[in-house]
Amino acid sequence: MKSILRTSLGRAIVYTCGHILIAMFVVKSLTGSDWIEAGTVALVEPAVNGLWYYILDKVITNYANI
């Protein structure tokens, strides 16, 4: 696990998985939908955020090494 967290991609994957789980619980709680619907809705937004985090982390990492 430690080696995964040393890379931008590893951190982005861990962040995205957590975000998807949180989004599922929030969607289910707020809308009363079933788990399949909540999971479907929850996949799109966190997936985009995960990509954004990966790009942001790469930019910051590269900038800090200058």
Q: pLDDT tens digits, residue range 43-66?
A: 887 778 888 989 999 999 888 875
Here the tokens at position 11 are 């951190």
Please tell me the predicted confidence (pLDDT) of residue 31.
Answer: 94
pTM, full prediction = 0.62
The domain locations on the chain are 4-64
Exposure string for 29-65, b = 16+ CB within 10 A, e = fewer: eeeeeeeeebbebbeeebeebbeebbeebeeeeeeee
For 9-21, what is each residue's pLDDT tens digit? 888 888 888 888 9
Instruction: Check residue 5 and report its DSSP letter.
Output: G
CA dist 13 → 33, 34, 37, 59 (Å): 26, 25, 22, 17
